[in-house]
């Protein structure tokens, strides 16, 4: 029930002006990141308001909801480009599942997208362990989350303190624990992930009005240049690495063919002596 209330509160908040600002930034990052990730099976866990798989071309894509937070399966988002030739499967029977016990075999997924999933999970570390289990070697996980070390995070902590005193409401949804970017990177390293890329977004002041958020759009350029790690939301891509992997088959043959050949040095002095004798 707690996870369900947190999910509903997050859905409502995403319809507000700051929520729409965040959705726009996250959607752009996801579309650019998943377009070049290839494979056969991709899964998005939670928060269907962000269509994390719409620009991906894998033939099998699902959006799954947590059984503790949803009462019905979520629809698969369609790609914005109608020319995309990937055809999604029909509704998957496991559209509702526990994120800490995913209904997939080991090493079966090529991409997993976590859109604010860890913040609402009952056990975020166990959810990451499940993601590591179901991903194939060299598979990718994409994580988005609120950054507690930001103006929005500071406004959230202040709002909670004032809310306890009956003076104000929190700025961000009162969901679960917001994971710091560095903490998430440490968790991923412990699970043999290698962080491939990450960035922050939404440096605007924590206004509630769409008018003031639009007026402060210039802060995005300044924040990205001068204080990049203090954006209100972060976006992270990590790759599952498996130790002891070796190149086999064609990859090993190509590596052998690309070795530089030995240099041939001619003895010019012997050639000149031979020509003089003639």
Q: Which of 110-119, 227-236, 253-262 has the lowest mean pLDDT?
A: 253-262
* pLDDT tens digits, 60-101: 999 988 765 543 433 444 433 433 344 443 334 346 778 888
Give CA–CA dist 26/29, Å, rounded.
Answer: 5
Q: State the residue for tokens 């043959």.
A: 253
CA dist., res. 204 & res. 151, Å (int)? 8
Q: What are the angstrom distances between the C-alpha of 141 and each of 38, 133, 197?
A: 13, 12, 11
Q: Which residues contact 121 (CB under 8 A, 6 or more apart)?
A: 3, 66, 99, 100, 127, 176
Higher pLDDT, 163 or 119: 119
> Three-class SS string for 86-133?
CCCCCCCCCCEEECCECCCCCCCEEEEEEECHHHHCCCHHHHHHHHHH
Q: Does residue 270 carry a pLDDT above 70?
A: no
Count of alpha carbons within 13 angstroms of residue 21, beta-carbon side: 26
Report residue 91 as tokens.
């509704």
Of 190, 130, 127, 171, whose CA–CA distance to 21 is shortest? 171
Can you tell me whether residue 2 is helix, strand or coil?
helix
- What residue spans define the domains of the chain? 2-277
Whole-number Å distance between alpha carbons of 175 and 46? 14
Q: What letter does residue 216 receive in the DSSP assignment? A: G
Q: Higher confidence at residue 169 or residue 64? A: 64
User: What pLDDT digit, counting tens, does each position of 109-144 carry?
Assistant: 999 999 999 988 888 999 999 999 999 999 999 999
At residue 157 the predicted structure's pLDDT band, cuts being 50, 70 and 90, is: confident
Task: Determine the pLDDT at residue 262.
Answer: 53
Query: What is the reported pLDDT for 121?
Result: 85
pLDDT at 109: 95
Q: Which are the contacts of 177, defined by CB distance < 8 A and separation ≥ 6? A: 119, 124
Token pair in block for residue 93: 């029977």
Helix (H, G, I), strand (E, B) or coil at 251: helix
Confidence (pTM): 0.76
CA-to-CA distance for 48 and 113, rounded, in angstroms?
A: 11
Give the pLDDT band (50/70/90) at residue 31: very high
Say whether domain 2-277 belongs to CATH 3.40.50.150: yes
């Amino acid at each position: 029930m707690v996870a369900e209330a947190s999910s509903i509160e997050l859905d409502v908040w995403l319809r507000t002006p700051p929520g729409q600002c965040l959705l726009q930034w996250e959607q752009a990052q996801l579309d650019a990141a998943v377009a070049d990730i290839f494979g056969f099976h991709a899964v998005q866990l939670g928060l269907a308001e962000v269509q994390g798989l719409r620009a991906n071309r894998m033939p099998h894509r699902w959006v799954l909801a947590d059984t503790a937070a949803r009462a019905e399966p979520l629809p698969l988002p369609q790609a914005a480009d109608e020319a995309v030739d990937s055809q999604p499967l029909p509704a998957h029977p496991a559209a509702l599942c526990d994120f800490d016990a995913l209904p997939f075999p080991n090493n079966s997924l090529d991409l997993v997208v976590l859109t604010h999933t860890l913040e609402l999970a009952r056990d975020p570390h166990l959810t990451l362990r499940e993601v590591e289990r179901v991903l194939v070697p060299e598979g990718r996980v994409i994580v988005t989350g609120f950054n507690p070390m930001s103006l929005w995070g500071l406004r959230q902590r202040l709002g909670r303190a004032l809310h306890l005193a009956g003076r104000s409401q929190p700025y961000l949804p009162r969901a679960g624990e917001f994971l710091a970017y560095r903490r998430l990177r440490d968790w991923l390293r412990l699970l043999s992930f290698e962080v491939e890329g990450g960035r922050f977004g939404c440096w605007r002041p924590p206004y509630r009005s769409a008018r003031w958020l639009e007026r402060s759009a210039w802060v995005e350029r300044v924040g990205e240049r001068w204080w990049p790690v203090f954006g209100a939301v972060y976006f992270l891509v990590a790759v599952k690495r498996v130790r002891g992997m070796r190149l086999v088959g064609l990859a090993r043959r190509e590596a052998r063919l690309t070795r530089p050949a030995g240099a041939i040095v001619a003895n010019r002095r012997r050639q000149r002596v031979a020509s003089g004798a003639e």
